Amino acid sequence: MAKQYRILVFGKPGCAKCKQLNQRLDELLAQPEWADFEKCYYDLGTPDGLVAFCRTECLNPQRLPALVVARFNEATQAYDYVPNRAPGAADPVCKASRLYQHVGLQTDYTEAGRGLLSPPMLTAILHEARA
């Protein structure tokens, strides 16, 4: 049976930040609280990864790693991106890493973001997907 939520993670080969994000998500999703989520990793060095990345229509390739959350749609038997209910609203936890169109994150490499997608950011996004 399909999990209710899928986290689509986008990264590239040899990227330390991509590896760190995957480890953080694996640790988080190993907790019983997040049993309704699964992770799917997409390597942008592959055709499948590039196609999935392009289908998000909202990620910046210069802000990898990135992730988008999708919810399983019983009617279509497919996953649909969870829409951001407040596009453009200030987010005290995710700040400029938060996506505008969908529930998700992309790495903010400015001095303010320091290139980190922290565990509090990840849990905030998962809670938002459920809301």
Containing structural domain, residue 85: 5-130
| pLDDT at residue 116, as a whole number | 85
Token pair of 85 as six digits: 């209910």
How distant, in Å, are the alpha carbons of 17, 87, 96, 109 from that of 112?
17, 20, 9, 8
What mean pLDDT do residues 69-89 have?
A: 94
pLDDT at 14: 92
- Looking at the structure of the chain, the number of domains it has is 1
| Mean per-residue pLDDT, 76-99 | 92
- Write the CATH number for 76: 3.40.30.10
HSE-CB at 11 with a 13 A cutoff on CA atoms is 18
